[in-house]
Amino acid sequence: MTARLIDGRAVAAALRARVADGAARLRARDGVAAGLAAVLVGDDPASQLYVRSKRRACDEVGVASFEHRLPADSGIAAVLDLVARLNSDERVDGILVQLPLPQGIETRRIMAALDPAKDVDGFHPLNVGRLWGGEPALVPCTPQGILMLLKRVHPEGIAGRHAVVLGRSAIVGRPVAALLLAADCTLTMIHSRSRDAAALCRGGDIVVAATGRPEMVKADWIKPGATVIDVGISRIPGADSETRLAGDVDYAAVSRIAGAITPVPGGVGPMTIACLLRNTLAAAAARRGLADPVPIED
Ligand code: GUN
């Protein structure tokens, strides 16, 4: 059996088109020009690339974007000061502080300083609590994108399915677990201290791999017919001293066992940016007491 390919690029393109419509409607009907501010501290090349692609995506859907760069050796006070200015800037509806931050700048303190109403990453403690409490406001983008992809594969819903999440990061593992629980899945979390990860993983009807360890999930970790979502993206040595992109899943082998699988690239990645744009519109509307222009349920 060969797994069905889950085309994240196509699902993300459809969402971006809805965001573009929503942004145009907000502008024409309500006179609101939604805006996203991205904060980049330091010069990590991967982060620079992410921020550039977020900016391009904003341009494409008609969301204003503002970029703020600080040197890697900025103290925490400089970052907190910038966040405070963005919190009170009326043109800014969403604030994204690109992670990871340089050593010495505590992520926890920066996230807590964000206006929760502009926290389009859903990382402020209030938004984290709302998510786990079952009253989500702004939901982290990659997990939100993963649930949208699962909805495509399982239009009947995922209630009662056994979902296995590998990795317990604040950006993906923990929030996606909260969303899977809210969708009435039975949940197993696997992390670096778990015993016999392979056996636990084989119990999953749905497997979300978010460990950052290239090709860690092998074919014998997967129940035949399971839905596999690969969040990882790493550059590893390939043939002829070239490098190639790899996910957390051994794609060539697992795609012969799974029922459906996301490719890398072109699976989860495009969903993250599309959901960020969606959250920016949602924040712009909510701050003004307007209805969400692009509801997640649609
Ligand atoms: N770094 C990697 N993924 C993310 C994300 O979703 N949001 C932010 N702010 N930084 C990231």
Per-chain mean pLDDT for the chain: 97
Residues 215-245: tens digit of each pLDDT: 999 999 999 999 999 999 999 998 878 999 9
pLDDT in the model for residue 43 = 93
141-270 and 28-116 share a CATH fold:
yes
Q: How far is the CA of 170 from the centre of ligand 1 (A)?
A: 10
Evaluate: CB of 255 within 6 angstroms of ligand 1.
Answer: no
Residue 231: what pLDDT?
98
> Counting atoms of ligand 1 from 1, which one is nearest the CA of 97?
9
33 CA → ligand 1 middle, Å: 24
- State the fold for domain 141-270: Rossmann fold (3.40.50)
Average pLDDT over residues 117-131: 98
Angstrom distance (rounded) from CA 94 to CA 78: 19
pLDDT of residue 55: 96
Q: What are phi and psi of 149, to 5 degrees?
A: -65, -40
Q: Whose CA is nearest to atom 4 of ligand 1?
A: 99
Written as one letter, the residue type at 21 is: D
| pLDDT of amino acid 297 | 72
Residue 213's CB: how many other CB atoms inside 10 A? 15
Q: If pLDDT is split at 50, 70 and 90, which confidence band does 49 have?
A: very high
Is 146 near ligand 1, meaning CB less than 6 Å away?
no
What pLDDT does residue 127 have?
Answer: 98
Q: Looking at the domain that runs over 28-116, which CATH code has it been given?
A: 3.40.50.10860
| Percent of the chain predicted with pLDDT > 90 | 97
> In which band, very low, low, confident or very high, does the pLDDT at 28 lie, cut at 50, 70 and 90?
very high
Mean pLDDT within 207-217: 98
CA 99–ligand 1 middle distance (angstroms): 5
All structural domains of the chain with their residue ranges: 28-116, 141-270
**What pLDDT score does 1 carry?**
75
> Phi/psi class of residue 289: alpha, beta or left (left: φ > 0; alpha: ψ in -120 to 50)?
left
- Rounded mean pLDDT, 50-64: 96
pLDDT digits (tens, 9 = 90+) for 247-298: 999 999 999 999 999 999 999 999 999 999 999 999 999 999 999 999 997 5
Which atom of ligand 1 has the smallest separation from the CA of 172? 6
Give catalytic residue positions.
Answer: 54, 98, 121
297 against 11, higher pLDDT: 11
Per-residue pLDDT, 298? 55
The mean pLDDT value for 62-78 works out to: 97
- Is the pTM here over 0.85, yes or no? yes
